[in-house]
Amino acid sequence: MSPTCHLHVIIVLVICVTTPLNAGLHETPLPPTGFRAANILAVETVPGQSHWNFMSAVLRALTDRGHSVVAFTSYPAQWSPSAHGNYTEVDTSAVLLRHGGEPASRVLSEYSRMSFIVPSVVRWSRQFCDAVYDMEQIRALMVNGTDAAARFDLVVTEPLGSECVAHLAAAIGLPMVYVVPTPMITYMQPSIIGHSANPAYVPHLLYGSAVRAFRHRLVNTAMYAYGWLVRWYSERTALQRPYDIDEPAKPSIVFVNSHHVTEPTMLLPTNVIHVGGIHLDRNSGTLPTNIREYIESSPHGVIYFTFGSVIAMSSLPDHIQDILKNVFRQIPQRVLWKYEGEMEDKPDNVMTGNWFPQRDVLLHPNVKLFISHGGISGVYEAVDAGVPVLGFPLYYDQPRNLRSLVDAGMAITMELLSITEQRFLNSIKELLHNTNYTKNAIITSDRFRDRPMTPQESVVYWTEYVLRHKGAHHLKSEALNLTWYQYMLLDVIFVAVVSFLVIGFLIYKTFRLFYSHATNYLINVKVKQQ
């Protein structure tokens, strides 16, 4: 072989080897040949920080891909998705007041009760819908539905407790994608995807216990029935609005903030996509200098303590705050405590702040424990970082979220209102000194990261699938077209029971007739013989 041929072979081999290696460096793949960027209308109807964090992560995946997004949000200008000018925000904070910093007394006394939270969520959802639909920009889109349908290709929105959010997509005539920032909403699930989870083994979203014994199944089933009835009653007794008259659109795809490490296995249709942890930034930033030095200079490690954005930590009852402070004084670890304002009688080993870069804090190897309320975003940040958790579930999905971590062997939970110094101290020591919790946290983290594609890639693929296939209506379950009694096969069971009774009756009458004839025959024979 000539030197020229050798050179050609080497060049070909270099091209073949380097091409896939270079391609692997791109976090978001380049659009394929023939790719058409879509115009997406996103409406965040819930003015909560954690809700927007999840929605914005979904939208960021789409804008990074090259799609154009117009987003209605109460939290504008919090991130710069790209430099391509394909992202526009409309500020809704004037009509959707931001939700956060609730007094602890209200959260602990009201939000933890199912009888309060389910009807309240339905009422809030409808109020949010009313506020959004009264906006001039939204009204213009709905009035000029044909023009809006020509301008946009897809609607992205979030359900909370009512399907009123689907009215926009129905009015414009566009396919719709739901984003659910919590695990699947049990009391909304039948109307969203057509199927209900099985209460025999799938815990209700608001049920903070595993379903194993009979008493668990009994309570869990009662919660399923109560949630459905209360939501139905709350919708039917509310002031009727245009979205109550028209048939709501059904989502082509539902992106749920869940993953099998925190979710019980359940049967779901194809159009439900788990993208838990999509908000986690793999290219996390560096910690602020003062926080980094505080963490790294702690010889015994650091504990990170937060109850998220909904509850104001400074509003906790004084006796509970005193217990927390007294326990922190007894441990050698330093504590980063998210706390609003100035703390009185602050322990020497505690640093407080209105905000901490939670993701970056938990990723630091010197952070040994996360004390949390169990919000799903924080749960995934702890799972991804492999950090054990001491949980104080407050309301909604938090008890179930933390129960999954307890079952994984990486967490301990406590009741905040019944906390004592000794129990709190013992729980911290157990999590810090029993290495099994850290080992299990690492195992859970490995399971969480082991996926066929990233959550961002899942969002991009399935969104584009809906666009390619004109709404992908074939992914929707046929159960959405059934009435409740058809879905539960009550009509089939009724026919089967009636048929059984009729056949049984006919058999009975046949035997009676046969018995009568046989008896008469035998009597006649006996008479003749006499």
**Stronger pLDDT, 213 or 144, i.e. the higher one:** 213
pLDDT reading at 12 higher than 90: no
CA atoms within 13 A on the CB side of 442: 6
Read off the pLDDT of residues 220-260 as tens digits, 9 standing for 90 and up: 999 999 999 999 999 999 988 989 888 889 999 999 999 99
Q: Which residues, in sequence order, are CB contacts of 457 under 8 Å at separation 6+?
A: 29, 61
254 pairs with which residues across the strands?
Answer: 178, 272
Asked whether 49 and 98 are in contact (CB, 8 A), the reply is: yes
Q: What pLDDT does 7 receive?
A: 36
DSSP-based three-state secondary structure for 416: helix
The Cα 33–Cα 36 span in angstroms is 9
Helix, strand and coil content of the chain, in percent to the nearest 5, comes to 50, 10, 40
State residue 84's pLDDT score.
56
With 50 as the cut, is the pLDDT of residue 19 above it? no
Give CA separation, 411 vs 332, 373, 471, in Å: 21, 12, 42
Residues 297-324 pLDDT 10s: 999 999 999 998 778 888 888 899 999 9
CA dist 251 and 271 (Å) reads: 9
Higher pLDDT, 391 or 27: 391
Q: How far is CA 181 from the centre of its chain?
A: 4
User: What average pLDDT score do residues 197-210 get?
Assistant: 89
pLDDT, tens digit, 9 for 90 and up, residues 91-112: 998 888 877 667 777 787 788 7
Vertex 109: Cα angle to 211 and 127 (nearest 5)? 90
